[in-house]
Chains A and B, each alone.
Chain A
Amino acid sequence: MEMKTKTEAEDGRQDLFITREFDLPLDLLFKAFTDPEIIEQWMGSKVLKLENRKFGSWRFEKKDASGNVVFAASGVIHEFSPDKKITRTFEMDNTPFGVQLEITEFEKQTDDTSRLTIHTIYESCAKRDEVLKLPFSQGINWAHNRLQEIVGKLK
């Protein structure tokens, strides 16, 4: 099976790269990162705020069936260059992971294909590894696990 999405996390470093080639023209790829309704569809989080401009802020939230927030993240946009680059901070509520700097670059490959590179820088090497240890495999993300934890306590 071909791995379309690649991750590169060198040992002993506090950053990582995620790269992916899309069968999509550049403008559609960029739109998928800037249109709140589209983001909600593929991220699975509610977009409460997304100001696509320099010094704009953003906030995503995910709730369980009973309306409890199981995942929330927010940050500030530092660079917004259409079809090129978005630089923003990212911080998850109520976690010890600190703030991340995310540099997302969009590149045209052909008229119908494009390439995405996300460079994430963590506060420290240890924090990066903690984030990578989050149990992603069981569900889409950490939120599911929080959910299980909460449901587990109710039993």
Chain B
Amino acid sequence: MNLRRDVFQAIADPTRRAILLLVASQSLTAGAIASNFDTARPTVSKHLQILTECELLEQKQSGREIYYNINAKKMKAIADFIEPFRQMWDDRFNKLESIMKAYKKPE
């Protein structure tokens, strides 16, 4: 539960969300990620650290460089988090729709 909350704090920040979007399609070094932002490099590093601690990002050493890529499993956990809630409302609304359709055309 606590770990989850941390994940949500991690993605609460717009810069961190932007970072996740950037690395969603390709692995990038810290430098390459930072070059996409006007923010100071240490700030970006801090964001990368938080995202890594929350296991949203994974680090991979390649030669002298460290590449960051997204942890798809963890990202899925976030999407799943609201899905049951959405599903519940979808079920209810489907029911509402069929009830009212029947109501519209009484036999």
Contact = CB atoms under 8 A, between A and B. Distances in A.
Interface of A: 3-7, 9, 11-12, 18, 20, 22-25, 28-29, 31-32, 38, 41-44, 116, 125, 129, 132-137, 140-141
B100 A31 contact: yes
Contact of A43 (B1, B13, B92): B92
Interface of B: 1, 4-5, 8-9, 11-13, 17, 81-97, 99-101, 103-104
A42 B5 contact: no
Contacts, number: 85
Given A22-B97, A28-B103, A41-B95, A12 B90 contact: no
Contact of A132 (B12, B85, B94, B103): B85
A115 to B, nearest CB: 12
Q: Which of A11, A18, A25 has the most CB of B within 10 A?
A: A11
